[in-house]
Amino acid sequence: MLRVRFAPSPTGYLHIGSARTFIFNWLYARHNGGTVVLRLDDTDVERNTQVSVDSIFDGLNWLDLGWDEFYRQSDRLALHAAAAETIRQKGLAYRDFTPARAEDEVASEPAGGWLFNPGMRELSAEESDRRAAAGEPFVLRFRVPREEKHVVAFADGVFGKQTKLAKDIEDFALLRSNGMPTYHLASCADDVDLKITQIIRGQDHLTNTFKHVLIFEALGGDIPKFAHLPLLIAPDGAKLSKRKHGPVVSVTTYRDAGFLPHAYVNFLCLLGWSPKNDREQMTRQELVDAFGFEGINRSNAVVNFSEESPIDAKALWLNGQHLRSMPLEELLPLIRSSLPPQDDEERFRLAVDAVRQRFTSLHDFATRGKGYFSDDFEIDPVALDKLNQPQAREILRELGERLEAQPEFSEAICEAELRKLAEERGVKPGLLINASRAALSGQAVGPSAFLVFACVGRQRVIERLKKV
């Protein structure tokens, strides 16, 4: 049984890179009939916050993909401690009583790097036990093999065969001096316990994987398969950070900008993955069907944004594509809450379908499209120019009278009446067409004017024309 996991640590908002990792995990699981495990990696008590937990769920829920099982690492501390003890008893880890190094000390490390603190690896079991029993604080470190030729290797689903000399790996920590597990230990112990079969995560963990292989081996049992994803970076080549790049890094920004969840998922999929057939706009099912590691790239992908256009233009385009082509049924619930109650469902559907053709954001319905869904709307300045053409207002009022006198109301009737009136008054139909769109919708741009009549509906058309 295939099992994948997404393991965010709650120290911020849901980062778009994390969101993409989640999506790829989800797609891989769905493609292969596997299980998606969501695990909160919250062993860093210093940095975890509830606000962050909430915002991660916010983002995940918005993506609307769901997951199958949920765990938090902080509930599983006993398991981690047991795993650490197992490794220590096998002689594969030792206590290090050296005090923690200060930040600046780490930065000014001598060339050649640091592998382990002198003396600690060789401490006798007796002395180690004695000092521990006396309450002296220690970190538990993995005893990395020091044989010259010892190679640690694994096959990565994206990057292929990876090898590294064990002598280049430092004796990393398993347990902190406060007894809490480190990320490496907790993550591997949980992966084993949760029977994760495939780990899909960011490439920033590619080199950590050598350490994880060592831990998995020490713990015994099957080692999961790995697949690392290229990172998402900013146009300046730096990794995306809130401090440096602002809200572009948070998924909630896209939700708040009026993105369709699926359109954004689709966009993120195209960053670092390709179905290799030039397809770009894809449904969820198409993504599931097409997804595989073969399509994943090995180089980092730039999220394209700038101060003038803070959101990647391709994301905007893709959102527009989905907005116009998705089933109307699925779109309606997404916009209804931002609009006043609608009195005529059929007309509402007609209007939404008409205006969506030129919208790119969910917000457009309540802003640019307001005249179609509410009586309380402003006339756009450009639209006002069209309305202020000589004779326009007066003829429009007349048109209102005539439509009121008609027993029937339809797109065709409106067109016939408008054209007839234009001819009688000796003005170009275009004058009235543009002026009526302005008067009826408040917008200088929009669907074909006669469709606008139908979208607004008989009663409102007459009202709006007569009081123009």
Partner RNA sequence: GGCGCUAUCGUCUAACGGUUAGGACAGAGCCCUCUCAAGGCUUAAAUAGGGGUUCGAUUCCCCUUAGCGCUACCA
The distance of Cα 335 from the centroid of its chain, to the nearest Å, equals 20
Examine residue 151 and tell whether it contacts RNA (CB under 7 A): no
Dihedral of the alpha carbons of 382, 384, 387, 389, in degrees to the nearest 10: -70
Q: In the complex with RNA, which residue's Cβ is closer, 66 or 430? A: 430
Query: Residue 407: left if φ>0, alpha if ψ -120 to 50, beta else—which one?
Result: alpha
Interface with RNA (CB under 7 A), residue from 32, 35, 74, 162: 162
CB of 99 to RNA, least distance (A): 5
Examine residue 145 and tell whether it contacts RNA (CB under 7 A): no
Examine residue 385 and tell whether it contacts RNA (CB under 7 A): no
Which listed range, 249-257, 306-314, 329-337, 394-402, lies at the site for RNA (CB under 7 A)? 306-314
Distance CA 273, CA 269 (A): 6
Residues 358-377 that bind RNA (CB under 7 A): 358
Q: In the complex with RNA, which residue's Cβ is closer, 239 or 466? A: 239
Examine residue 271 and tell whether it contacts RNA (CB under 7 A): yes
Distance CA 437, CA 427 (A): 16
**What does DSSP say about strands 225-229 and 198-202: parallel, antiparallel, or unpaired?**
parallel
Examine residue 238 and tell whether it contacts RNA (CB under 7 A): yes
The residue length of the chain stands at 468
Residues 168-227 that bind RNA (CB under 7 A): 168, 170, 172-173, 176-178, 180, 182-184, 187, 203-208
Examine residue 21 and tell whether it contacts RNA (CB under 7 A): no
Interface with RNA (CB under 7 A), residue from 49, 61, 283, 299: 299
Examine residue 391 and tell whether it contacts RNA (CB under 7 A): no
List, in sequence order, the alpha helices (H) in 230-327.
242-245, 251-256, 261-269, 284-290, 313-325
CB of 353 to RNA, least distance (A): 12
Interface with RNA (CB under 7 A), residue from 304, 342, 374, 389: 304
Q: Is 322 within 8 Å of 254 (Cβ atoms)?
A: no
Which listed range, 122-130, 188-196, 247-255, 446-454, lies at the site for RNA (CB under 7 A)? 446-454
Examine residue 155 and tell whether it contacts RNA (CB under 7 A): no
CB of 321 to RNA, least distance (A): 7
Q: Which residue has the tokens 């198409």?
A: 286
| Angle 402-434-321 from CA coordinates, rounded to 5° | 120
Distance CA 66, CA 35 (A): 11
List, in sequence order, the alpha helices (H) in 182-260.
183-193, 208-219, 242-245, 251-256
Q: In the complex with RNA, which residue's Cβ is closer, 30 or 228? A: 228
Examine residue 317 and tell whether it contacts RNA (CB under 7 A): yes
Q: Total binding residues for RNA by CB under 7 A? A: 87
Distance CA 88, CA 143 (A): 9
Q: CA of 451: how far to CAs of 374, 384, 385, 413, in Å? A: 17, 20, 21, 11
Task: From 292, 228, 196, 189, select the one nearest 1 (Cα to Cα).
Answer: 196
The residue annotated as part of the active site, out of 90, 242, 420, 428, is 242
Examine residue 137 and tell whether it contacts RNA (CB under 7 A): yes
CB of 44 to RNA, least distance (A): 4
Residues 72-131 that bind RNA (CB under 7 A): 98-101, 106, 109, 111-114
Which listed range, 19-27, 121-129, 214-222, 271-279, lies at the site for RNA (CB under 7 A)? 271-279
CB of 209 to RNA, least distance (A): 9
Nearest-10 crossing angle of helices 411-425, 429-441: 130
276 has catalytic annotation: no
Active-site positions read 242
